[in-house]
């Protein structure tokens, strides 16, 4: 069965009392199979003034089907080309 290719969207969060020069922590806000969908969601976060990152990845169909909710600390595997 072929791998599922996806885009993981992360939102950067400042820890309380920190400033941007001290860095951000990342929270995964969604996995998308369609580029247009991830770009639309990213646009919403950017319009809200948030820092975002989009990372491509892949997983097996079984792993994709088993996802009920994307964990905040989700770390994608690199996409297989």
Helix (H) or strand (E) holding 53: strand 51-59
Query: Is the pTM higher than 0.85?
Result: no
| pLDDT per residue as tens, the chain (81 positions) | 578 999 999 988 765 566 666 666 778 899 999 999 999 999 999 998 888 999 999 999 998 988 888 776 777 665 443
> What three-state secondary structure class fits 6?
strand
Smallest CA-to-CA distance from 52 within 33, 64, 39 is with: 39
């Amino acid at each position: 069965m072929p791998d599922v290719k996806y885009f993981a969207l992360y939102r950067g969060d400042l820890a309380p009392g920190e400033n941007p020069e001290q860095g951000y922590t990342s929270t995964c806000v969604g996995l998308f199979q369609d580029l247009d969908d991830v770009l639309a969601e990213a646009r919403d976060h950017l319009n809200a003034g948030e820092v975002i990152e989009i990372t491509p990845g892949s997983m097996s169909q079984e792993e994709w089907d088993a996802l009920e909710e994307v964990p905040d600390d989700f770390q994608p595997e690199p996409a297989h080309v």
